[in-house]
A and B are shown apart, each in its own frame.
Chain A
Amino acid sequence: MSGVRVLVGTRKGAFVLTSDGKRERWEVSGPHFGGWEIYHVKGSPVDPNRIYASQSSGWFGQLIQRSNDGGKTWEPVGNKFEYDGVPGTHQWYDGTPHPWEFKRVWHLEPSLTDPDTVYAGVEDAALFRTTDGGQTWTELAGLRGHGSGPRWQPGAGGMCLHTIVLDPNHPGRIFIAISAAGAFRSDDDGQTWRPINRGLRSEYIPDQDAEVGHCVHRIAMHRSKPNVLFMQKHWDVMRSDDAGESWHEVSGNLPTDFGFPIDVHAHEPETIYVVPIKSDSEHYPPDGKLRVYRSRTGGNEWEALTNGLPQENCYVNVLRDAMAVDSLESCGVYFGTTGGQVYMSADAGDHWSPIVRDLPAVVSVEVQTLP
């Protein structure tokens, strides 16, 4: 019988949650790298036993860990992330030029075709790639160098490249997102880039429809329709039907369109999920009710999914990388909270239950569907 492996990154270590295809009984292993911040853990789609983890600490800096046995054992690999050439400057919070400084790896995106190739999104925002299983990392400097980099500015959480989406149907096409610069696309495997933010409007920047400066929180794609992108922006849920050339708002009847994660059902490319958060200054669900919202129409029309989720006195957040889906016949949906819960639904969101309740604050959740 097939099964699932849920890879959870938290503020104090990584956890691996495994179950068979019924997803009723779970085995929990961890903490791995106890005491370290684990921003992201993700497995190779080519070799599910190859898993990469971003491990970081204010004291000891950045490490990358690699597992070749599905997360049972790990080995540290290369942790040298050096910007290409003279790093240059971006804008600081006060608008003055500030030199690029590497801080941490937010997101690891393994290649769709090669388990040794991985893309890394880092703070201060840049994209790196390894082709030797994480031993060495090279910046794809065309992103910072395409021209708008000096105008990028950090969001409250830092200037991070947090989203990397690889297009399965157009080899070499990569979408990335940066807070607070916006979304960018490359069609030549990361060599050259351009902003793709037409249609975004952000009240928190002087020119509300500027080419760059938007605080994109997350982008999701269904592999069967790679030209359709869904975006949770700082405020607004957005959709593109032309691979990011233009965007339009699909927030519809959401109680608030602020939030962090967005994801797509494994088998229904127009079914999407968000977790509305009250506001950018409060960072918890409206009315103390933890609700996932699902649209079966690609946006605009949303329904609240509450069965099994706390509907009173709940003030957790769900961070941008903390939602994922499995690809079992009945699509499983998973998300983690800053309160340390990992919830799952084995029926596409109709019913929820916690797998674990008391982990450290959850930063990221990824799911592997195993044969």
Chain B
Amino acid sequence: MTQAHARQVRVRLPLHLRTLAQVGTEVTLALDGPATQRTVLDALEARYPMLRGTIRDHGTHKRRAFLRFFACECDLSHEEPDTPLPDAVASGVEPFFVVGAIAGG
């Protein structure tokens, strides 16, 4: 029953993390509970342990300073980690983007 109710969340990763995790442009994760930044990143790191520490700090789980979280044309980087993600992300219609902040000039 649990699997039948698991939601499918899509996550898009930047190039270097795709290379590290050996995945394509987008990964799909199954979530049992609500879709929040915390639950999505927990699921991502559980499936791809090599990503631990690359998006969030190991100890504090704070977002690394030069990464951004986007979805539905909004910057969610400064949202609380337990704030529900937009319905379109939670339902798998729209992906959750992990984006490297722009560098250079």
Binding site for B on A (CB under 8 A): 35-36, 57-63, 76, 79-80, 82
User: What 4 new A-B contacts, CB under 8 Å, besides A79-B53, A82-B58?
Assistant: A36-B16, A59-B14, A59-B66, A59-B103
Total cross-chain contacts (CB, 8 A): 41
Q: Is the CB of A80 within 8 A of B54?
A: no
Selected from B50, B53, B59, B67, the residue in CB contact (under 8 A) with A59 is B67
CA distance A343 to B25 in the complex (A): 39
**Chain B residues within 8 Å of A36, by CB:** 16
Residues in B whose Cβ lies below 8 Å from that of A58: 66, 103
Q: How large is the interface on B (under 10, 10 to 19, 20 to 34, 35 or more residues)?
A: 10 to 19
Known pairs A60-B54, A61-B53; A76 contacts B66 (CB<8 A)? no
Question: Which positions 54-105 of chain B face chain A at CB distance < 8 Å?
Answer: 54-55, 58-59, 64, 66-67, 100-101, 103
- Of A59, A63, A80, the residue contacting B64 (CB under 8 A) is A59
Residue pair A80, B58 in contact (C-beta under 8 Å): yes
Say whether B52 contacts A80, CB under 8 Å.
Answer: yes
Complex Cα–Cα for A58 and B20 (A): 16
Given A35-B16, A57-B16, A76-B20, check contact A63 B66 (CB 8 Å).
no
Report A286 CB to chain B, min CB distance, Å.
32
User: What are 5 sample pairs from A and B whose C-beta atoms fall under 8 A apart?
Assistant: A59-B64, A60-B17, A60-B20, A60-B100, A63-B50
Interchain CB contact under 8 A, B16 and A76: no
Please, which residue of chain B has its CB at the minimum distance from the CB of A76? B50
The answer on a CB contact under 8 Å between A59 and B52 is no
Given contacts A57-B16, A58-B66, contact A63 B58 (CB under 8 A): no
Inter-subunit contact A82/B59 (CB<8 Å): yes
Measured between alpha carbons, how far is A82 from B60 in the docked complex, in Å? Answer: 11
Minimum Cβ distance to chain B for residue A76 (Å) = 4
List 4 tightest A-B contacts by C-beta distance, closest first.
A60-B54, A76-B50, A59-B66, A59-B100
Give the shortest distance, in Å, between B23 (CB) and chain A (any CB): 14
Most buried by B among A59, A63, A82: A59
Chain A residues whose CB sits within 8 angstroms of the CB of B20 once the complex forms: 60, 63, 76
Instruction: Say whether B59 contacts A60, CB under 8 Å.
Output: no
Query: What residues of A have a CB within 8 angstroms of the CB of B15 in the complex?
Result: 35
Known interface pairs A35-B16, A36-B16, A76-B20; A61-B59 also in contact (CB < 8 Å):
no
Residue ID in chain B nearest A62 by CB atoms: B53
CB-defined contacts of B54 to chain A, threshold 8 Å: 60-61, 63, 79
